[in-house]
């Protein structure tokens, strides 16, 4: 892969509700930006495609400025410092930063999410198992759910980078781990790849009976990546005092319609429900990276990435994520690691 010589961008074409489609995006071409004092010029290597980016199209993401048509889609990437006018960063440094979907970005340090130590693992893992998805899993397992030996631990969206890591950490902590995922291929990643005890394909007839059979002692912990419809079913199999880590809720909206949940059954089960926001655990990232990079090196913590190549393929790859057809962390390789 050659170094890009133009600043190709993916821009918002139109803002609207509903699931994004290809016509919501457009390609743009810009010059490589100049640097102000205190800024850093970075070159994107791996774009991180994440569900929250959907809100760029809807225009309602808290903590982000609403985009206008023609603006670069926001998002993080593994990137490398090309030129620096900031004393703390030098050419060649690897970072995870808020670059947006483009080849080059001039950023201030507050757009930097983390420095990458390339010795810890493959560079792309800095936006996956050794990045925010991994830290999300760490917050869920080590801070909120705190499983113990013999717990039955259920994880939804189990083939994804958060769910996959949650289940593996839970298993290392002695739990029996049951994944839930859609389709045979994902379920194989979950069991053969990540080593979960069982994976339930929720797209298959009879999945609920299969889940029940997989949890003969009931469910002690549920990491909820998907929201209402599934949570309403799972509560039936909760043990008393079951813990729920509430992490993502894409399922609360079906065809744009809100699906509310009844909390009554959760009272009956004396459920303990906790909301998770990954930013709360940023201070614990060094510890997580020590633990997880060792596990990755030893082959005890595995990850799966779903790569596309070339920035022009970013919208299509993102739409695949939106349809739930990705297997593992969605990444677009947009430039070489070296150089």
Q: Select the residue interacting with its own copies from 186, 223, 269, 304 (CB under 8 A).
A: 269
- Token pair 């906790």 in the structure block, residue: 274
Which of 126, 246, 296, 301 lies at the binding interface for its own copies (CB under 8 A)? 246
**DSSP string across 292-334:** HHHHHHTTSS---EEEEESGGGHHHHHHHHHTT---SEEEEE-
| Residue pointed to by tokens 């071409």 | 29
Residues 188, 327: contact at Cβ < 8 Å?
Answer: no
Residue 309 as a binder of its own copies (CB under 8 A): the answer is no
Q: Does 3 bind its own copies (CB under 8 A)?
A: no
Q: At closest approach, how far in Å is the CB of 21 from its own copies?
A: 24
Give 274 or 320: the residue with its C-beta nearer to its own copies: 274
259 binds its own copies (CB under 8 A): yes
Of 15, 239, 272, 313, the one binding its own copies (CB under 8 A) is 272
Question: Minimum CB separation from its own copies for residue 185, in Å?
Answer: 29
- CB–CB of 28/70 below 8 Å? yes
CB 219 to its own copies: min, Å: 15
For the CB of residue 264, give the shortest distance to its own copies in the complex, in Å: 5
Q: Which stretch binds its own copies (CB under 8 A): 84-92, 153-161, 226-234, 306-314?
A: 226-234
Task: Give CA–CA dist 25/317, Å, rounded.
Answer: 12
User: Token digits for 196?
Assistant: 């979960």
Question: Within 13 Å, how many C-alpha atoms sit on residue 228's CB side?
Answer: 12
Binding status of residue 252 toward its own copies by CB under 8 A: yes
Q: Does 155 bind its own copies (CB under 8 A)?
A: no
CB of 285 to its own copies, least distance (A): 18
Stretch of residues binding its own copies (CB under 8 A), selected from 118-126, 175-183, 198-206, 269-277: 269-277
Using rule CB under 8 A, residue 227 touches its own copies: yes
- Report DSSP state, residue 42: E
Of residues 49-68, those binding its own copies (CB under 8 A) = 62
How many binding residues for its own copies (CB under 8 A)?
A: 28
User: From the list 1, 66, 209, 263, which residue makes contact with its own copies (rule: CB under 8 A)?
Assistant: 263
Q: How far is 109 from 134, CA to CA, in rounded Å? A: 22
Distance CA 54, CA 45 (A): 21
Interface pick for its own copies out of 264, 299, 323, 338 (rule CB under 8 A): 264
Q: What is the rounded distance in angstroms from the CA atom of residue 179 to the CA atom of residue 326?
A: 16
Which single residue is written with the structure tokens 């060094």? 286
The distance of Cα 204 from the centroid of its chain, to the nearest Å, equals 25
Closest among 82, 95, 234, 87 to 154, alpha carbons compared? 234
Kindly indicate which of the ranges 34-42, 94-102, 119-127, 247-255 contains the residues binding its own copies, using the contact rule CB under 8 A.
247-255
Residue 141 or 189: the one with the smaller Cβ distance to its own copies is: 141
Which residue lies nearer to its own copies by CB, 258 or 338?
258
Beta-bridge partners for 253: 258
Based on the shown chain and the rule CB under 8 A, indicate whether residue 276 belongs to the binding site for its own copies. Answer: yes
Token pair, residue 315, equals 């919208």
Exactly one of 25, 194, 237, 266 binds its own copies (CB under 8 A); that residue is: 266
**C-alpha span between 321 and 333 (Å, rounded):** 15
143 binds its own copies (CB under 8 A): no
Among 273, 291, 295, 319, binds its own copies (CB under 8 A): 273
CA 272 from chain centre, in angstroms, equals: 24
Kindly state the tokens that stand for 180: 């839930």
Cα–Cα dist 87/25, whole Å: 36
Positions touching its own copies (CB under 8 A) are 62, 227-228, 231, 246-247, 249, 252, 258-264, 266-277, 280
């Amino acid at each position: 892969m050659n170094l890009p010589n133009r600043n190709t961008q993916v821009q918002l074409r139109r803002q609207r509700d509903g699931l994004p489609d290809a016509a919501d995006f457009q390609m743009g071409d810009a010059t490589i930006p100049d640097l102000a004092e205190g800024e850093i010029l970075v070159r994107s290597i791996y774009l991180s495609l994440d569900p929250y980016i959907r809100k760029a199209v809807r225009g309602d993401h808290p903590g982000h400025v609403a985009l206008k048509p023609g603006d670069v889609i926001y998002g993080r990437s593994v990137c490398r410092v090309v030129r620096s006018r900031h004393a703390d960063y030098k050419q060649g440094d690897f970072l995870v930063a808020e670059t947006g979907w483009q080849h080059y970005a001039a950023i201030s340090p507050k757009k930097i999410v983390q420095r990458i130590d390339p010795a810890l693992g493959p560079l792309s893992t800095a936006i996956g198992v050794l990045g925010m998805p991994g830290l999300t899993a760490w917050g869920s397992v080590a801070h909120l759910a705190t499983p113990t030996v013999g717990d039955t631990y259920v994880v939804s969206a189990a083939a994804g980078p958060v769910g996959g890591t949650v289940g593996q950490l839970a298993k290392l902590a002695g739990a029996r781990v049951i994944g839930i995922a859609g389709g045979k291929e994902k379920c194989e990643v979950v069991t053969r790849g990540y080593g979960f005890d069982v994976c339930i394909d929720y797209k298959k007839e009879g999945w609920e009976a299969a889940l029940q059979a997989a949890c003969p002692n009931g469910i002690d912990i549920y990491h909820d990546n998907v929201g209402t419809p599934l949570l309403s079913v799972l509560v039936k199999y909760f043990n008393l005092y079951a813990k729920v880590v509430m992490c993502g809720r894409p399922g609360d909206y079906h065809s744009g319609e809100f699906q509310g949940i009844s909390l009554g059954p959760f009272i009956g089960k004396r459920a303990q429900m906790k909301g998770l926001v990954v930013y709360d655990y940023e201070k614990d990232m060094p510890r997580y990276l020590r633990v997880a990079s060792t596990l990755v090196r030893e082959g005890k913590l595995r990850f799966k990435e779903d790569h596309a190549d070339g920035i022009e393929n970013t919208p299509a790859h993102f739409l695949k994520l939106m349809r739930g057809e990705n297997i593992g962390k969605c990444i677009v390789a947009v430039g070489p690691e070296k150089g």
